[in-house]
Structure 1
């Protein structure tokens, strides 16, 4: 078992490695970006990447406190589902009004890769290979579709 400090250091080392790997990759507009803390620029919409002990995941989280407005954002993503999935090259899981780990109501669109463990440095290439093309594809999608969400 790892101590809390060891777990924290391993996770920090993973995200530092991921950041270094992604640093030379420009965003869709050709600019440098902080991929691991991607900013959508739209309140209550987040692109989240997770690396855990049993899986890695990437997704879009809609966290608006007003569930009706959260649903409106979700439905806007549904309007662009074909475009999103074409950019990603795969189908993701969609959930309206699910719960996050703190019991807060959120909606999300995500892809999970099971069978990898961030605590195992040997799994890091698989995790990075999973996250990298998907965050780049989300960025490409977002660079075209963001204006539709800013108007909501």
Structure 2
């Protein structure tokens, strides 16, 4: 069992190492990018990566406070599902109403990897192998799909 500070330090060490590993990788548009804190440019649409004690996940999260607006964005994402899956080359779980750790209802598209822990440095290569190709694929998808979401703001 790790003390809170030690666990936080190990998590920070992993994300720093992941960021350094991904640093030379350019975005789909050929630009430098902060892969760990990926910015979609849409206020309530996020690409989230998480590595915990028992699993890891990567997700597209829709966190609109307005349920109707969140549903519209989710439906737009559903329309783009064939393109998303073509980029990812796999199917993810689609969750129109998921309760997050803070009790908020969000929509998300997610893939989880069980049986890994960020606390075990021996698992770090598995975590990187899980996250890296998927965040790159999400970036390639987003380089095309973001225009459909920009239209929703008009």
Interval of TM-score (by shorter of Structure 1 and Structure 2): over 0.9
Q: TM-score, normalised by structure 1?
A: 0.99
SS in 1 for 2:68: helix
Deviation at 1:43, TM superposition (A): 1.1
- Matching residue of 1:14: 14
Over the aligned positions, Cα root-mean-square deviation in angstroms equals 0.4
Give ranges in structure 2 of 5+ residues lacking alignment: none
Shift of 1:151: 1.2
Cα-to-partner distance string for 1:20-70 (whole Å, 9 max, x where unaligned)? 110000001100000000000011000000000000100000000000100
After the TM superposition, which parts of structure 1 deviate over 2 Å for at least 4 consecutive aligned residues?
Answer: none
SS in 2 for 1:151: helix
Residue 91 of structure 1 aligns with which residue? 91
1:97 CA drift (Å): 1.6
- Secondary structure at the aligned position of 2:36 is classed as helix
Q: How many residues align?
A: 152
CA distance in 2, matches of 1:97, 1:115: 25
Q: Which residue of 1 aligns with 2:123?
A: 123
Structure 1: give runs of 5+ residues left out of the alignment: none
Contact 1:45 1:61 in 2 (8 A): yes
1:98 to partner: Cα distance? 1.2
